[in-house]
Amino acid sequence: MAAGTSFLRQCIATTTRTLVTAKSKHSSYHFSTFLLPLRTHSRRLTIRAGITNNEEVAAKAAASDADSGAPTIFDKIISKEIPSNIVYEDDKVLAFRDINPQAPVHVLIIPKLRDGLTELGKAEARHGEILGQLLYAAKIVAEKEGIVEGFRVVINSGASACQSVYHLHLHVLGGRQMKWPPG
């Protein structure tokens, strides 16, 4: 009985995270639409929980390959092997629109040379200059996109932050009211 209750609580907690994610990605989804069936049908509960876990599982899978040195999709974007919608570029950084935008403005900024920066958590003192350049590029992008009066810069570092591409990148988000805390 106690174990069953604990399992149910865990499922509801997982599901709640799913709902937050779903709402942020598809603003037409409403919390109550999901929550009621989830409380009454444990089968659906499992299905919904799977949505969140996919994101987390994908992030963990990406993390397991993070230090292999293998090129990422961003290397192909830098080399223009695959197309992207470039917003800003200089000799050190590239800024392009995210393929899966979470706001009216959602731009990724990456260093052209990864130099060990698979994630922010791998930064060393020698990376100070490029880290500053990336942040300054975020301000330039915000200006170019007309959101400099209010924007958010996000760096997901590591699997528990759901980082999915292991080439350091800043997300520049804006064009809508941001909420806090983030999911």
Helix (H) or strand (E) holding 43: helix 42-64
CA atoms 34, 38, 40, 41: torsion sign? positive
Helix and strand counts by DSSP (H, E) for the chain = 5, 5
Q: Mark residues 59-98: x for contact with ligand DGP by CB under 6 A, - for none.
A: --------------x----------x-----------xxx
From the CB of 100, what's the least distance to ligand DGP, in Å? Answer: 5
Q: Which of 12, 131, 140, 162 binds ligand DGP (CB under 6 A)?
A: 162
Nearest-angstrom CA–CA distance, 128 and 87 = 23
**Catalytic: 169?**
yes
From the CB of 132, what's the least distance to ligand DGP, in Å? Answer: 20
Q: Mark residues 6-45: x for contact with ligand DGP by CB under 6 A, - for none.
A: ----------------------------------------
Per CB under 6 A, 99 contacts ligand DGP: yes
Position 99: which residue type?
I
CA atoms 123, 65, 73, 141: torsion sign? negative
Size of the residue set binding ligand DGP (CB under 6 A)? 13
Nearest-angstrom CA–CA distance, 70 and 180 = 35
CB-CB contact of 116 with 122 (8 Å):
yes
From the CB of 162, what's the least distance to ligand DGP, in Å? Answer: 6
Nearer to ligand DGP, 16 or 158 (CB): 158
